[in-house]
Every structure is written in structure tokens, then in C-alpha cells.
Amino acid sequence: MSTHHFMIEEPKTWNSEMLEKYVNPDDIPLIQSLAISQGYQRDKYCWRYTKNGMYTVKSGYWVVTNILNREPVEIHKKPSITKLQAFA
């Protein structure tokens, strides 16, 4: 099902009956707290790393070298089998 199945068109509000029928009760207040746009605009893709919102290889490279590399890298040590060998 799409999101619009859970909405009433005029005025645009959440359809409580549909939410209660298909959604976990704990999630209903969270969904109902989301504002529904009263206008309609088709969804579109937007790349936030360029001024015009269009993806370029150059901007993708910039993201990889400047943003993704900032995230900490987990280093996993090789597990030791010394205790296992001593036990055997």
C-alpha cells in the first residue's frame, strides 16, 4: 500500500480507520504527528551536495573523500586462540 491509502483527500488528513487496521498501535501517534502537504507536487530526486541539486561524479567523489571518510572505521582484532590452545 502507498501512503495515500492512509489519507483522506478533502481536507487532507490521516484516515484513522485505515491506520488502526494496518499499522502497529504504537506507530499511529507518530504517523498522525506528521503534517500532510495540502498542495501536490510530484516527488523528485535532489542531491544536496551541488547548488542545482543535480548529481555529478565530481560531487560524488567529494562526498566520498570528505564526508564518508570522516566516519570512524571499526577495526576488528583477529581473535586469539591462545586460551583455547592452552585448554586443549
Whole-number pLDDT of residue 16? 93
Query: Is 78 inside a domain boundary?
Result: no
Whole-number pLDDT of residue 88? 67
Structural domain count of the chain: 2
- Lowest mean per-residue pLDDT among 3-12, 22-31, 76-85: 76-85
Cα–Cα distance measured from residue 37 to residue 53, given in angstroms and rounded to the nearest whole number: 22
Query: Is 16 inside a domain boundary?
Result: yes
Residue 42 pLDDT exceeds 80:
no
Which residue type does 1 have? M
Query: What average pLDDT does the segment 28-32 reach?
Result: 93
Domain housing 23: 3-32
Which residue type does 28 have? I
Cα–Cα distance measured from residue 50 to residue 58, given in angstroms and rounded to the nearest whole number: 10
Query: Is 47 inside a domain boundary?
Result: yes
Query: Is 61 inside a domain boundary?
Result: yes
